[in-house]
Structures are given as structure tokens and as C-alpha cells.
Structure 1
Amino acid sequence: MKVSAISIIACLLAAGWLGSEAAAQPDLQRRRQYLQESLKINEPKDHRHAISRRITAQDSTWLGWLHRTGELPPDFSAMPSAPYLPEPLVTVSNGKSYPVRTRAEWETRREWIKKEYQHWVSGKIPPAPKTFEVKVLSEKTDGGTRIEMVEVSFGKNNAAKMTFELMIPAGKGPFPVYMTPWTHRNWAQLAVKRGYIGCVYAGADTKDDTQAYQALYPEYDFTALMRRAWGASRVIDYLVTRKEVDVKKIAIAGHSRNGKQALWAGAFDERIAAVVSSSCGTGGITPFRMSDPQYVNQTLDDIASNAAHWFHPRLRFFFGREDKLPIDQNLLISLIAPRSVVFQYSVAEQQLNPWASEQSYHSARKVFNFLGVPDHIALAPRMGEHAVAARDVARCIDFLDKQFGRKNIPWQTELQFDFVYDKWAAAHAGQASEAAQLKPVHLDPAKARNQKAAILKNLQWLLGEEPSGVRPDKVAVTESSRIDWIDRITGRPVVKGAVAEHLGPYTALGDHVAATVYYPADATGKKKIPANGKIPVVIYLHEYAYAHGYAHGYSTDRQGNSRLFQTFTDQGFAVLALDLFGFGTRMEEARYFYERFPEWSKMGKIVSDTKACMDALSTFPEIDSTRIFLLGNTVGGIAAIITAAQDTRVAGLATVAAFSPWRESDSTYESIRSIADWHGLMPKLGYFAKKPQDTPVDMAEIISCIAPKPLLIIAPTLDRYSNIPAVRATMKKAESVYATGNSSANLIVSYPEEINRITPEMSAQIAEFFAKVKP
């Protein structure tokens, strides 16, 4: 719980609107309970708000809005869950889903998306003004280009203003238009050279005429980003009156927060023919459902507290319950079809997740396909940091030229993640019969020891067959100058009071796998060796951090310091951290995996790499090979459990938000589809998606193979990916197995009221748990 959450709840109780009188109204009682939970897990402060950046015309902070309105979260229990993404071509009526089959049905769906988006995310926009006045503030010529500074005024008493600069190239028009906020004037310069009218409007932090709209339109609660998007439309009101403008070729572009507003403008204004949205992240291409700690990008909580004025306060209720949002960014993107949109971003940006970007692209593209324009949506991934260079802007103008029929520069969307379950299943058709004949093992705690061989056999079938190989002849520290250059972009965490040593590339562990070991340090900055000369070690297996592996996350602060790792090094543990296969520096390594190793699985490879870590550690003279521990979070937790079940060298393990039982997989907790289909980690599990009860083994069986090793399971009760009642049932079976072997004390299960993240309290609990394990 946040330190201030208790006092906040107390204030709200005192105000009378968290009162007990709700007992007669169960739905109201639930909604008040949801608010209390939200206040516990949300960051309560708004970090960028100021008088000039109020979140509403009446409120400067989210808490102020809560107090003034008394608004409660929706009744989440009455809302359907969509753990993946809401389908753009499916409409819901009277609780039933219907496919969109005609353009008329799609138009109805579009209007529903717009309405819902304004309610939950952007706030309601005013209607377009019927008239406006124009004032040309200045005119000049520069390098043959005519430059005009224009101001339009509109609304009541023409009090609302929008200032913009037009850069009209020499030559005969009409010209296409390249619109972008004030911040990106140099982008417009490049476009002018390419024959576009550059239009730079005052809808950016550096010059923002739209802030005044909040007070001028008090009956509309549109947020800062939507005000800027709506302001861009007021520029277009004027542009379409100019004879120099090709009104069918108006494009809008923006980067980061401006990339979000460009996307929002394109979704709500059909006069915009094309959108270039660069590194727009959460609130842009990244779905809110994938803006949480599991995906280690900018979370809904972080962006809504750091930039509270960008989004409607209602959105903040959905942190930890993102799957309940009726809409998401894939639906917003689909509104642009059949017009054109390209998303550009770095696959290694700290606040983005390229896998999430591609999921949004695939979903929205269904609408572009439906309307017969599949090439009107594109991705332009790159390698680098957040900021863009001229080459990136130029490439996106290539896209506009192609879409506008001006030039035919080759374009191909390059995807980072090539796994398609149906394609895999077609290539492995013979294994479907194996799956049908496989006899599932159901745990009998009294017979767990006798079932172990059958459990491990079925588990190995799911993991696939690892090809034969050899171990490295030497694993050793490398010079920092030889670290992978991608590492320098993603940034490896710094651990205060620790000595960091990097392994690889010429002396890497396993099959050329790089890693970092953080050792506890003494007062002189050297490794702190205990009296017995051996340091216990924790192998850290991270979350679904596709962009940067173990480098970032809720356990790392904004300066790159790993609080999680420091918790262990302060307690005398070394920490070995590596990017899991397919994540961070190893993202491209996983492409074409199933073409290269058709009988294996990515999870099998992750487990193999974890075992290779233990191989390497056993050769280090200062490491205690009898005290090698595993710590896994989400996908890393599954890998840790499987590794410990198979390898006796694991002295103990801890997992956080690791699993939801496979046999309980359903439309709310898609535990099988998530592993088999979405992430392609264990495709064979997909054979059981429709009959999950037939899954060959489940977590109860796998955990039984770990007993009697020390095991700490932390299952946050607000983890939306986990069916907590099913997790409890699984752990009851596991407890029976541990009790049968007289090792009940070795199994600890914790259910904190939290979401799927490692909190400082959890870190301390895990370190204490490992410290008690003796060789």
C-alpha cells in the first residue's frame, strides 16, 4: 500500500461517500470497495499538474476531482473481461457478440468507439464551430518558400484562438499538407523540401493555444491531448479553404505525446488523410491492457499520474483492471481506416514494448483488411533511443508519398515477432494426434513421488525436444567495452554498493548468452566474501519485458538503480541477471526460432539457458554452488518453476505473479492462449485451449516435483492475469505434497493485496526467505 493511501481513504470515509449505508445497494458497495483498492495501488499524486495544467476546468488534481464529483469506479463485476484486446469487428448487443459484416455495421461500430473513447479516455469534445475569423499575423519569403503566420478565432465571442505557421513551397499547387505541432517545426522543414505545405500549429508544450479551451468550453471535459487534437481540426477548417491545399492529402505527424495527439486527431477527423505517429507509446499505439508492470513499459498508473491532464480522470480507475476497459487503443487506431497511418518507434525504448505495438497493429489491421486497404496501416520499427533523427522523419514521408500516389519508394512493414500459432499448427499437424493420445496426470498428493516420472515426461513433451549440444569450455568476465551495443541503449541497472561483472561475448555462458553478475561489495568497493569464502546467488528471471529484458521495471527507479537487486546484495547475495530468450538484447535471436528448431519450444530454450546459468556459476570459485536460488516474475516465474522441477541444483525459488492454472483457462484468464498463442512460448499447450481440463500437466503437478525444496509463491490477489481461487486450490494440493514429505515449513504461499509487480515489501520477504535456506 502507498504510504498516503490510508490517510486518503480516511478522508474519503470522513467525507461520507465511502460510508456503510451502501450495504443496502450491493453494486454501490462494490464500487466503493473498488475505489479503496484503486487508492491502494495507484500513485495518488499528479506530478506534472499546475495551474496551467489542470486535469479539468474545476480540478487541479485527480484527488480533487474525486472529492468534488464523488464519482466511483464502474461496477467491474458487471463488466466483461477482455484480457487480450477487444475485437474491432465485433459488436456487443444485449450481452451477445455479433460480427461486423457490412460497412453500415462498421459505421455503427465506429460511432460506438468514439462515444466510449470520449467517456473513458479523452473526455467529450465540442462540436466544430460553424464560423471562424482569420487574421494573417505576418508574411515573408524564405528560400523561395512563402511563410505565413495565421491566427483563427472561433467560439463564443471568438475568444478561442489557434495560431499556426504555413510554409508554402514554390511551384504550382495544390500541395499536400504536412501538419505537426509547434515542437516539430524542423520536421515540417523536411516535408517542405519534399513538396508539402508545412503547417506548424500551437498545440504543443512549447506553444499551446488549446489550454485556454478548457475554460472556454467548461461544459466539455476534453483533456489536454484531445484539446490539442481538436485544435488541429480547427486548423484544417481553415486549410480546406485555401486553393494551394490538396484537401484530400492532409497528413498530421507527431512524436511522443504529440504522436498521441496526432493519432487522436486522425481518429476523430476524417479530413486527415494520413497519420504519422512516432514513439507514441501508452495512449498511442500501446494498448492500455499492455501498459502494466507485466509488460515493463509505461503503465497506465505512471502516465496518468505523471501527466494527469492528458487523460480523463476515469481512466485511472482501470489501473490493475485494464482488461475491463470497454475500449482500447487498437479500436482507436481502427477509426482511421480506410485512411492511412504509420507508427514509428524504437524497439528498445525504455517506456515502450514492441510486442504490444505489434499486437495493436495486428488487431487494427483487421479493419483495414475488411475495408480492402491492408497496406494503409504500417509499422516503421527502428533501433535507437526515444528521440528521432532526420532519417526517421524522411522514411515516414516516404510512406506519405506512397499513400498519396506521389512516389513509389519501396515500403515493407518489418515485424519483430513472427510467431503465428495457426502457421505453427499447420507445420506440426502430426503432433495433434500425439496430443489427443497423451494421458494427463492429475496430482494425487499421497502418490506424488510415484507420479513424478510421468509428470516430468508430459512436461518435457510440452517443452519439446532440445537438440544435442555442447557446453562452453570457459565462462569468464569480459571487458565493458565488449558489451553488446544494444545494452548501451537499453541501459543495464546500477546496483548501489555492488560490484558488477559482465559475462560474454567471447566467454559467454550456455550457447553464447551474455549475463551480468552483481556481487555484494565491502567498504573498499571490492567483492564482499563471507567467512566461508562462498557467496550465495540468486538468478533473476524477468517479466514480459520485450524491449529491454531485465534492465527496467517496477523494481528499477528512474535513475536506473535496481532496488530489487540491491535488496539481495545488501543481504550478502550475488545476483545473476540475463535477458530471457526473445527479450531485450535477445529479441532478434528468437526470430525464425520454430523454423530453426521445429521440435523445440521457446520456453524450453529459456529453461535450458537457466540451467546454463547454473553450469556457469558452479565454475566460479567465490559462488556457493549449493545455494543457487531462482527468482521469477510472470513469465520468468513459470520458467523458474519448470527449471526447479527438472534440476536438483536449485536450492530454493521464489515467484511473483507467476501463473494461472492451465486447466482453469477460460475467456477471462487465458492462461493457455497467452503462453501458447500470444507469446508462442509453449505452442503444444494450444492443443488444449478448447479442452483445458485435458492439459497433460498443470502447475500443481509441476510444483509437486519441486518438493521438498524451499518454495515461496507470492500470488497478488489483484493480479488480473491470475485466477486466484484456482491458484489457491493449486497451492492447497502442493501443501499436501509438502506435508506428506514432512517439509511443510519449506512451502510458503503469500497473497498480498497487490497487482502483478514486485514491491519493496515483496523483495524483502524473498531475501529473508532465501537467507533462511541452509545448504
Structure 2
Amino acid sequence: MVVGAEPNYDESKVPAYTLPDPLVCEDGTPVRDRRVWEKRRRPELLWLFEEHVYGRAPTAAPGMWFEVVESDGTALGGRAIRRQVTIWLRGDRVGPRMDLLMYLPRERGRRVPVFLGLNFMGNHTVHPDPGIRITEQWVPADRAGTVVSNRATAAGRGTMASRWPVERILARGYGLVTAYCGDLEPDFPEGWKLGVRAALSPDGTNHVFRLDEWGAVAAWAWGLSRAMDYLEIDRGVDAKRVVLIGHSRLGKAALWAGARDRRFAVVISNESGEGGAALTRRRFGERIADLNRRFPHWFCGRYKEYDDREDALPVDAHELIALMAPRPVYIGSASEDLWADPRGEFLAGLHAEPVYRLYGRTGLGVTEMPAVGQWVGRYIGYHLRPGRHELTAWDWERYLDFVDRHLGGR
């Protein structure tokens, strides 16, 4: 493949491929029961994804400090509790921090399940609520001009609200928790210098030339687990019912966080594509070389060895999905988002099913990809939404219904 070459969107040009078997260990030992999966194959797959795709991240923060900056029980006209929490990611409280924005239903005496996800441009973009603090971190420029010299302004309030239907989530009995991904690492090649990868490195260098050093996706995933650390002590949250959600590149981060951290009860990937839920070996739409050329900071250095060598990668997306088992996982695709390979995302869910069967659970429950506008699945959910690459109200209704089935909002 010539980097930057025209992507393949023709199913007839998808090459023949053989997927690695999630139920065969690296030494050839077959996995016939949950014990072997849990003790041998699952840790082995996690290690392979670390070594070859996402890189090695710390298992925890070296010291954290939780600061509840605000807890307002009259938010959104009295319909919600708005809580804003700063998580200092080093014990010295001068290093990196992550600011959580929380909306919880106003129901006393009950811990509520919540959706947790990172946002792209700052918490203030999630809702026009004037009480939300504006991020002070580096923010990418936007077409609307709400960002000046990579700093957010009040003009950005609510600009991403369509992706976060706060009132609808609250009405269904769930809370919403979000944080800006740039709190953990700004999304540009040198952004690691401003984020947790440099701050948590012993010498501040991030060891960027090490092939297994963690990339930005792993940094974002690591931050989601730190948010979970806080949610476990928040008296308004049912920490056993935290649903992880992510869109696009942040969907990749959600999947990797869900694979590493089994505290998340449900994991949702919305159009995460290559490096996320789509099968790499199909070579359809975006490919590894495209990711490494456009976003060299997202993955570990060794991932670049697989440009145009997808078959040599020792893992594929179906095994990433399988790492969620036996927890429910949902994969959302869009019919016009061919770059993210909707069929490849469906097939990843399909080929993860053997691991779910180890637990006596049905995955998708079908073998044929659903039509546009349809959704399928039991413990592995999937839908193909009409339209383009986006996180919409239609997607959210499917996710809320799926989570209702497994967790129940009320």
C-alpha cells in the first residue's frame, strides 16, 4: 500500500484473510473453558495489544487527589444535580488534572447508573448550561471560531450538545459523566509533552522511541479508569453500573479502557473503526498506515511495523471485543461512514461470540449484518444507523435501550 493511496470501498476487493483465533493460546493450547480463558488467554491477548497496538500504560496513578469544586442540586431548572470534580493525577496537586462534569437525576437516597465518556473540545461544549467551567487546557481550532489561540471561549458553550442529550439521559434514569480528552493529552503529535505521558514519566521524556511506549489512545483510556476511581466513592453513583461510551477515536479509547478495566459494566463503541472495532485484515476504508501517517501519536511505535502488513499483526478487533466478555458490549456503525468499515465492525462482533459462549451468553445472535436502521444483539449489540460519522440521538436511544435491558435505569 502506498501511504495516502485511495482507500478501498469495494467489498469485491477485500482480500482473503485468516483471523487469529481468540480461543487458541500462542503456544497452540486450545481454550475450552472459562478457566483457561481467564488464566491464560485473556492476559495473553491484553499483553499482545499492549505490545503491538496501544502500548504499555501504568496500572494506576502514582497519587491522586479528588476535589469537588461544585455540587449544585438546582441545575437545569432543578431537574439535575450538577457536580464538577477535579482529579489531580499526581499527589503534588501541581501536575496534570482531569475535570469531571457530572449530571445526576435529582433522586434522593438512590445511587444511579451513569454513562461515562470523554469529549473532544471541553466540558463546556457538552451543554449550554452557563454553570459549566470552561476548560483552560489546549484545545484544537474549530471552524466556528470559538477557540482563540488554542484556548476555549464562552462562544463554544453547547456546540457539541447534539452528541450529549443530557436531558434525555436523565429522563431515562441515568447520569452522565464526561471529561475533556485534552486534560489527559491534547490531540496533536507533540501533545504528550502537555499531558500525562510526560508528567508520569520518571524523567519527563515519555521514552518516545520505545516501541511499546503508550500512545494517546492509551492515555485517554488510562484517564477513563481514573474517572472510575472517583466514581467508586461518589455517593450519588452506582459504581457497579457505569457504562463506558466513546465516539470515533474516543471509541477506540473506550474499548481499550473496557478491555483493561473490568469495573466498567457495559462498553459502547460508536464508529471507532480502524484501531477500534473494525477488523484490520479486511483492508477496507481506513488502514493502519493511514492512522500512523495522520495520527502518529495515537498508538505505540511498534504499530507502525504493520503498515501494509495487517496479516502480520498478532491480534485483530474481534479479540478486542472478546476482552469485554462476559460484560455487554455494543458496536454502533453508520451507513455512510465507510471509512470506519461498518461491515468490519459487525464482523468483529460476530467473531467475538465464541468467547461469550464460554460464559453461556449469546453475542449478536445473528450471522447476517442488519439492514440500515436496524439493530441486533444480546450481549453483543450492533446497529447500522443511516447517515454519516457522528454520535446522534438515534444512536443514544439504541444505547439506552440496550443498557436498560442489562442494567436498568431505574
Deviations 1:394-426 (A, max 9, x none): 22111111111448xxxxxxxxxxxxxxxxxxx
Q: Displacement, 1:151?
A: 0.6
1:163 pairs, out of 91, 99, 114, with 99
| Alpha-carbon distance in 2 for matches of 1:204, 1:215 | 14
| Alpha-carbon distance change, 346 to 364 in structure 1, aligned in 2, over 3 angstroms | same
The 8 Å contact of residues 179 and 188 in structure 1, kept in 2 or not, is answered as no
The 8 Å contact of residues 250 and 272 in structure 1, kept in 2 or not, is answered as yes
| Alpha-carbon distance in 1 for matches of 2:2, 2:201 | 31
Match of 2:253 in 1: 261
- Amino acid aligned to 1:354: P
Deviations 1:336-371 (A, max 9, x none): 111111011113313032332222111111111221
| Alpha-carbon distance in 2 for matches of 1:164, 1:225 | 19
1:136 pairs, out of 54, 57, 68, with 68
Match of 1:233 in 2: 225
Match of 1:322 in 2: 310
Match of 2:11 in 1: none
**% same residue:** 31
Q: Displacement, 1:309?
A: 1.1
Q: Displacement, 1:314?
A: 1.4
TM-score computed with the length of structure 1 as normaliser: 0.40
Match of 1:105 in 2: 36
1:402 to 2:405 alignment: yes
- Amino acid aligned to 1:261: A
Deviations 1:622-665 (A, max 9, x none): xxxxxxxxxxxxxxxxxxxxxxxxxxxxxxxxxxxxxxxxxxxx
Deviations 1:163-198 (A, max 9, x none): 111112111321001111134834261322221121
Match of 1:309, SS state, is coil
Match of 1:128, SS state, is coil
| Alpha-carbon distance in 1 for matches of 2:297, 2:348 | 24
Q: Residues 456-475 of structure 1: matches in 2 within 5 Å? A: none
1:198 pairs, out of 176, 185, 191, with 176
Match of 1:250 in 2: 242
Q: Displacement, 1:88?
A: 0.8
The 8 Å contact of residues 65 and 91 in structure 2, kept in 1 or not, is answered as no
| Alpha-carbon distance change, 135 to 203 in structure 1, aligned in 2, over 3 angstroms | same
Q: Displacement, 1:42?
A: 4.3
Q: Displacement, 1:262?
A: 1.2
| Alpha-carbon distance in 2 for matches of 1:388, 1:104 | 37
The 8 Å contact of residues 184 and 196 in structure 2, kept in 1 or not, is answered as no
| Aligned length, in residue pairs | 324
Match of 1:150 in 2: 85
2:382 pairs, out of 379, 384, 392, with 379
Deviations 1:412-446 (A, max 9, x none): xxxxxxxxxxxxxxxxxxxxxxxxxxxxxxxxxxx
Match of 1:307 in 2: 295
| Alpha-carbon distance change, 202 to 123 in structure 1, aligned in 2, over 3 angstroms | same
| Alpha-carbon distance in 2 for matches of 1:205, 1:405 | 31
Match of 2:371 in 1: none
| Alpha-carbon distance in 2 for matches of 1:396, 1:265 | 18
Ranges of 4+ aligned residues in structure 1 off by more than 4 Å:
40-44, 204-211
The 8 Å contact of residues 82 and 104 in structure 2, kept in 1 or not, is answered as yes
Match of 2:394 in 1: 391
- Amino acid aligned to 1:139: S
- Amino acid aligned to 2:113: P
Match of 2:116, SS state, is strand
The 8 Å contact of residues 180 and 188 in structure 1, kept in 2 or not, is answered as no
| Alpha-carbon distance change, 126 to 205 in structure 1, aligned in 2, over 3 angstroms | closer
| Alpha-carbon distance change, 164 to 299 in structure 1, aligned in 2, over 3 angstroms | same
| Alpha-carbon distance in 1 for matches of 2:89, 2:117 | 21
Q: Displacement, 1:255?
A: 1.1
| Alpha-carbon distance in 2 for matches of 1:119, 1:334 | 18
Q: Residues 319-398 of structure 1: matches in 2 within 5 Å? A: 319-374=307-362, 375-398=378-401
The 8 Å contact of residues 175 and 245 in structure 1, kept in 2 or not, is answered as yes
Q: Displacement, 1:205?
A: 8.8
Q: Displacement, 1:266?
A: 0.9
Q: Residues 556-571 of structure 1: matches in 2 within 5 Å? A: none
| Alpha-carbon distance in 2 for matches of 1:110, 1:98 | 13
Q: Residues 529-568 of structure 1: matches in 2 within 5 Å? A: none
- Amino acid aligned to 2:288: L
2:25 pairs, out of 58, 71, 91, with 91
| Alpha-carbon distance in 2 for matches of 1:206, 1:113 | 25
Deviations 1:749-768 (A, max 9, x none): xxxxxxxxxxxxxxxxxxxx
Match of 2:268 in 1: 276
| Alpha-carbon distance in 1 for matches of 2:300, 2:222 | 15
- Amino acid aligned to 1:380: H
Match of 2:101, SS state, is strand
Q: Displacement, 1:212?
A: 1.1
Which has the higher Rg, Structure 1 or Structure 2? 1
1:217 to 2:200 alignment: yes
| Alpha-carbon distance in 1 for matches of 2:26, 2:229 | 35
Q: Residues 506-517 of structure 1: matches in 2 within 5 Å? A: none
| Alpha-carbon distance in 1 for matches of 2:273, 2:240 | 28
Q: Residues 291-690 of structure 1: matches in 2 within 5 Å? A: 292=283, 295=284, 297-374=285-362, 375-406=378-409
Match of 1:630 in 2: none
Higher helix share: 1
Q: Residues 681-720 of structure 1: matches in 2 within 5 Å? A: none
Match of 1:677 in 2: none
The 8 Å contact of residues 347 and 353 in structure 1, kept in 2 or not, is answered as no
The 8 Å contact of residues 346 and 386 in structure 1, kept in 2 or not, is answered as yes
Q: Displacement, 1:104?
A: 2.0
- Amino acid aligned to 1:216: A
Match of 1:125 in 2: 57
Match of 2:275, SS state, is coil
The 8 Å contact of residues 182 and 206 in structure 1, kept in 2 or not, is answered as no
